[in-house]
Structure 1
Amino acid sequence: MGKHWGYDKNEDLVLSNLKALVRSNPAVRLIPDEKVVYNPNTTAADKVTIISGGGAGHEPLHAAYVGENILDGAVSGAIFASPSTKQIMAAIRKCTNTKKNGTLIVVKNYTGDILHFGLVVERAKAEGYTVEMLAVADDVAVGREQNKMVGRRGLAGTALVHKCVGAASTAGASLESIVDLGRAINENLVTLGASLDRTSVPGKQGGHDDDEDEEEHTGPNEAELGLGIHNEPGHRLKPIPKIDDLLKDMFEKLLSPKDTDRHYVDFDHENDDYVLLINNIGGTSTLELYVIAEHVIQTIPLKRKPTRILISDFVTSLSAPGFSVTLLNLTKAGGKAKDFSSEDIVSFLDKPTDAPGWKPKSYDSKLWESSAGDSSFDEKSPMANHDPTVTSSLEVDPKVFESAIKASLSKLLEMEPKITHYDTQVGDGDCGETLAAGANSILSCLEKGELQLKDPVATLSKITELVEDSMGGTSGGIYSIFLTALVKNLQKAESVTALTLGEAFHGALYDGLFKYTKARVGGRTLVDTLQPFVDSLKEHGDLSKAVQEAKRGCDSTTDLQAKFGRASYVSDEEFKDKDGGIPDPGAVGLLAMIEGFAEGLK
């Protein structure tokens, strides 16, 4: 945390951000002096104008939500700081087409935003504009007694309000109806966030009105629950909890009526429809966000399935590595709004928009209804009844074969820590784990008696399937191709001897694997172990000599520069440690298996 690219101290990062946003979006315009982004098409329409704004650092909020069926304009302050009254007034004057239709300003419930936007609302009214303001407050981490004067903070639920009031405006609703809808939604929103750390501000521009400490971070084994989006501290959790335990705690706070100070929305667990929104607070990877979302969906204690599930970065706090969960009670919001039903609210969420910040794809409601939840999953794989095992008439001693396989894999597992250590220095650190995953998969199959050990072709065919399923990355691909080709070549043999094995290995390497990789001896890969082994076994038919050649090839990798894979991007200096040259991890892993197999045969 805290690392940022070097920017000129005089550069206005917020303005640079807005300029790039507008350059990449031909549907919107920018007033640079006021940091106002607006949509000239929607602001010229005969409709209620929807404007939002606040401090920067919460992108895609606010400017990236300017577009059809959402915001007509947005005004940005400095990072974590409200825009000035001059900026806000410029947004109203630029975006409001006719004073008669009126304007709704949507803000998050923070002191600076309420004061600045509220003052402008009053000034605009004095100039003849019809303007209303709605302050979104959905945070459940702030209790009623804790902050009576300010109230709950506005978090990710703000995005839902933007989308619904924006779509209602496009549909031709009146200002009165839209304000009523916004309030009904706001009163039925709950949000709670959790993060592994605070955020840091690039360029140290500005600061939130309450001047939170931007430098404080959580400890190495800590997380925070209920922190704000301006680095306001939350409740520290130590050690970092398991995700399901954390989510159960979060849902207890979001839904339970036990804590009357923080219980804001009633949910009928059996009957209420609701929207589930999972928000990336900024620094959570897309992969992990969706993993978290799956856990959220499986953990949520409400009986009904969500009517809609929205997953994205909606309201962020720069690069904070966290997420938040928002629930909108559709049933109660629809019952509260005078002119709109819960079905209307859902339709507003579904309306397509060209705003780049609204990333959830719009789908037809019928598609949602027919594909909701687990019904989207195919019950059976097309591979379920497919047995890829190839058999032959070849026979070997099953006990000896089993002993050799176990010895081979055991030696590999014994070497795994060292392989991983080497790979963390010259690769991406996963070689040892990948090989271990394959080894454990095969050993598990052995223990279950699922290998036809008497037939070497059937055994290798099954092992190939196990390797394909359990080993990912380049290593998995290389081993799978080689083993597949080995099975094919071994089928041609009339008996199992060192010479026939040499022929089969040679065919698998030269007519199989080498068709799909340019790796050869000298390239610092597992081929430096494999190719000498195969060449020697074919030429001499002597397993001991072949093992010696394999070891010689593996040892040579300590003096080689990588030419293939991720290690080829590593500098020469990284290939040495205090003990000298570092061997190729893949070559070491393969050598361990070859040596173990030879020892097991004895």
Structure 2
Amino acid sequence: MTLAKHWKYNENEDIVLSNLKGLFHSNPSVGFIPNEKVIFNKSSNTDEKVTLISGGGAGHEPMHAGFVGDNLLDAAVSGAIFASPSTKQIMAAVKTKSNKDKGTLIIVKNYTGDVLHFGLVAERAKTEGYKVEILPVADDVAVGRTQNEMVGRRGLAGTALIHKILGAASASGSDLEIVYDLGNLINGNLVTLGASLDRTSVPGKALEDIEFTQANEIELGLGIHNEPGHKISPIPNIDELIKDMFEKMLSPSDKERHYVDFDLKNDEYVLLINNIGGTSSLELNAVASHVINNLPLSKKPKRVLISDFVTSLNAPGFSITLLNLTNIHKANNNFSAEKVLSFIDMPTNAPGWKPKSYQGKEWDCEREVTESPMKNVEPVTSDLKVNHDVFKSSLVNALQTLLKKEPEITDYDTRVGDGDCGETLAGGANAILKALDNDKFLKNHLSDPVAVLSRITEIVEDSMGGTSGGIYSIFLTALGKFLQQQKDTSISSISKAFHGALYDGLFKYTKARAGGRTLVDTLQPFVDSLYKSNDLKEAVKAAKKGCDSTKELQAKFGRASYVDDSEFKNSSIPDPGAVGLLALLEGFIDK
């Protein structure tokens, strides 16, 4: 059972109508017919161009109303969630924007209700003197020929490409016959396949009425109206999944689902990666990176389009679409790859078309990742010396002591923080331990404490995120700086370096002080005691006392400061960051 929730709307509220009202209020270029749920482009002059109308059930936003705009759709009509609009609604869209002389192309996804209702309107409009063609989009490869011989393939994210290309072709002055022919050619050279971690949940519908995907499985080839796909368990590695998807999209051996021929070495193509609704932007771009890395076609895509084009409410999935440009040109010399790409590149004010319009020459130039200017920066070194073996042994013991403490730290942070403190500290510790074995610079400079601190700071910055990573990096950087100013590595010199690193280094960048329930409750007593006594063991005792005091403190800094006071009362839970630093200090001097 999923944990999906929806906001509680007013009783009997039409959420689809509310959605369209919100879109209307945020987009000054569109008009709105509330009774018929029609959004139309006020600025498009349909006396001079072919009109493009689309629509269908709601729940696929930004499809369709979000694609109303210049060089895209002239009007869109919305039905209820996952349900086709009525013929009355569709006719309202036709009569609002259609021109009898230039003609109208109606684009629908290939679902029975949409094809019937929009088709009926097309026939009625013809009896009233309108020139109308209807184009059902069918790009899904999950549906085999035998499986749906009568209905055919479903329309998925490839629909957005057809909207964009035909919208620009219409705005460029192409007549109805040319726009319609181009639409059929694109439709015949599109393949799309989707995968999702779960089904979608529908506002107002009881969750118990939906068959959700199990915890360790995904669905491949599911539909955008909660039609089930093929279940795969356990959840595969993302690269394995994408390779499987490409195999199903492109393999000529699957006679049931091989709809479009691709010459893997020579064909030019467009790649579209679609968020089915509930995938975060971070993960969608990560998925896109893996898709590109696993492309089975030799040539790089002419365009890469990544966005939420055709969704299924909040379904946590993605789909991959390929458009074969070479096949289109072979079928009709008037539609070269450059021509089709120019239609994709034409700018639009439609809010749902989020890919930025770049010039073709920008796409054609070679793009390489830039090498970091920090790559060859050598860590800081000094003339200070310590015993190589003792220093390494103490450092290793400190890190291993921290790693042993990690489960306890994680447990504490799960109860009073966000649960990642132990993992963050362990990430840094493991990275340093690995470097001690493999990093040539560290191996060659282990007797130089400044050099070691300089290199460890780099490792901490790379391997530890969040506030603790920043605090450790700043303090270690400052410690290296102040240690470099010392004449020797006596305990007196070290205590001065620690004192300077805290009071003239770290404290310049944070307001955290002892008593605030942070790692500073361990660090500040340690530094103060060391500076006063020049005794490491006494300093660690002071650090432990400060760490233990956090059990009684309310957090004033960090994420724990947002936790309700009641979480701390009688909990006897110390600050996780303070515990982690204490483990490092105790491990270092105990060796």
TM-score when scaled to structure 1?
0.95
Query: 1:39 is matched with which residue: 32, 41, 53?
Result: 41
CA distance in 1, matches of 2:485, 2:435: 26
Structure 2 residue aligned with 1:539: 532
Classify 1:266/1:44 alpha carbon distance in 2 versus 1 (closer, same or farther; 3 Å).
closer
Q: Where in structure 2 are the equivalents of 1:185-584 lying within 5 Å?
A: 185-204=186-205, 215-337=210-332, 339-371=334-366, 375-378=367-370, 380-387=371-378, 389-448=379-438, 450-451=441-442, 452-575=445-568, 580-584=571-575
CA distance in 2, matches of 1:192, 1:515: 53
Classify 1:556/1:469 alpha carbon distance in 2 versus 1 (closer, same or farther; 3 Å).
same
Q: Output the amino acid matched with 2:169.
A: A
CA distance in 1, matches of 2:403, 2:590: 15
The alignment status of 1:94 with 2:111, answered yes or no, reads no
CA distance in 1, matches of 2:556, 2:224: 46
Structure 1 residue aligned with 2:586: 595
CA distance in 1, matches of 2:350, 2:186: 21
Tell whether the 8 Å contact from 2:421 to 2:577 is kept in structure 1 after alignment: yes
Shift of 1:82: 0.4
CA distance in 2, matches of 1:307, 1:394: 57
Total equivalences in the alignment: 586
CA distance in 2, matches of 1:286, 1:92: 36
SS in 2 for 1:55: strand
Q: Output the amino acid matched with 1:432.
A: G
Shift of 1:43: 4.4
Structure 1 residue aligned with 2:64: 62
CA distance in 1, matches of 2:394, 2:213: 50
Classify 1:45/1:417 alpha carbon distance in 2 versus 1 (closer, same or farther; 3 Å).
farther
Q: Output the amino acid matched with 2:450.
A: V
Tell whether the 8 Å contact from 2:413 to 2:420 is kept in structure 1 after alignment: yes
Structure 2 residue aligned with 1:104: 105
Structure 2 residue aligned with 1:50: 52
Deviations 1:387-414 (A, max 9, x none): 1x22222221111111110111010111
Deviates more, 1:113-122 or 1:463-472: 463-472
Q: Output the amino acid matched with 1:248.
A: K
Deviates more, 1:236-245 or 1:433-442: 433-442
SS in 2 for 1:203: coil
CA distance in 2, matches of 1:71, 1:88: 14
Tell whether the 8 Å contact from 2:521 to 2:550 is kept in structure 1 after alignment: yes
Tell whether the 8 Å contact from 1:104 to 1:175 is kept in structure 2 after alignment: yes
Tell whether the 8 Å contact from 2:30 to 2:42 is kept in structure 1 after alignment: yes
Consecutive unaligned residues of structure 1, counting only runs of 5 or more, are 206-211
SS in 1 for 2:43: helix
Shift of 1:576: 6.0
Q: Output the amino acid matched with 1:110.
A: Y
Identity of aligned pairs, percent?
Answer: 67
Consecutive unaligned residues of structure 2, counting only runs of 5 or more, are none
Q: Output the amino acid matched with 2:72.
A: I
CA distance in 1, matches of 2:230, 2:449: 60
CA distance in 2, matches of 1:238, 1:9: 40
CA distance in 2, matches of 1:42, 1:491: 69
CA distance in 2, matches of 1:252, 1:491: 59
Structure 2 residue aligned with 1:209: none
Tell whether the 8 Å contact from 2:76 to 2:93 is kept in structure 1 after alignment: yes
Structure 2 residue aligned with 1:27: 29
Q: Output the amino acid matched with 1:79.
A: I
Shift of 1:498: 2.3
Q: CA RMSD in A?
A: 1.5
CA distance in 2, matches of 1:369, 1:475: 43
Shift of 1:464: 1.4
Classify 1:103/1:364 alpha carbon distance in 2 versus 1 (closer, same or farther; 3 Å).
same
Shift of 1:122: 0.7
Shift of 1:338: 6.3
Which 4+ stretches in 1 moved above 6 angstroms? none
Query: 2:577 is matched with which residue: 568, 571, 586?
Result: 586
Tell whether the 8 Å contact from 1:576 to 1:582 is kept in structure 2 after alignment: no
Shift of 1:242: 1.0
CA distance in 1, matches of 2:459, 2:232: 40
Tell whether the 8 Å contact from 1:532 to 1:549 is kept in structure 2 after alignment: yes
Shift of 1:339: 3.8
SS in 2 for 1:107: strand
Shift of 1:45: 4.6
Tell whether the 8 Å contact from 2:410 to 2:420 is kept in structure 1 after alignment: yes
Shift of 1:581: 2.1
TM-score when scaled to structure 2?
0.97
Deviations 1:331-350 (A, max 9, x none): 11223346422221111011
Structure 1 residue aligned with 2:18: 16
Shift of 1:541: 1.0
Deviations 1:304-347 (A, max 9, x none): 11111111111000000000000101111223346422221111
CA distance in 1, matches of 2:90, 2:182: 23
Tell whether the 8 Å contact from 2:328 to 2:335 is kept in structure 1 after alignment: no
Shift of 1:101: 0.3
